[in-house]
Amino acid sequence: DAMVIQNPRYQVTQFGKPVTLSCSQTLNHNVMYWYQQKSSQAPKLLFHYYDKDFNNEADTPDNFQSRRPNTSFCFLDIRSPGLGDAAMYLCATWDSDNQPQHFGDGTRLSIL
């Protein structure tokens, strides 16, 4: 059974049109992460939540925002997508108990 679920698996949006990606977890982990992964590159951390405590990476563009309304759900909002934002977006969770992070299968975002 999938423990970290990302919807949709594929998302197409237009240049400049806001888009929201969603992630849910059944693990009750207190940490949730969003990563951006471009072709042939390692996942790059955008931000993460420790419970409701939001931690933004210094180089994450202001165009990217996140919401975590409860333990199970986390959203990635891209306010005005540009062509350079086309990528795979990965969500991960962790229980901060030195167990490995669990990843979803990602949402592949295309920009027209």
Q: In the complex, which residues of this chain contact another protein (CB under 8 A)?
A: 4, 31, 33, 38-45, 48, 50, 55, 83-84, 86-87, 90, 92, 94, 96, 98, 100-106, 108, 110-111
For another protein, which is the closer residue by CB, 43 or 65? 43
Is the Cβ–Cβ distance between 63 and 85 less than 8 Å?
Answer: yes
In whole angstroms, the minimum distance from the beta carbon of 43 to another protein comes to 5
Backbone angles phi, psi at 44, to 5 degrees: -115, 125
In sequence order, the 6+-apart residues with CB closer than 8 A to the CB of 67 are 74, 75, 77
Beta bridge partners of 23: 6, 74
For another protein, which is the closer residue by CB, 65 or 106? 106
What six digits make up the tokens of 19? 């888009």
For another protein, which is the closer residue by CB, 32 or 65? 32
In whole angstroms, the minimum distance from the beta carbon of 110 to another protein comes to 7
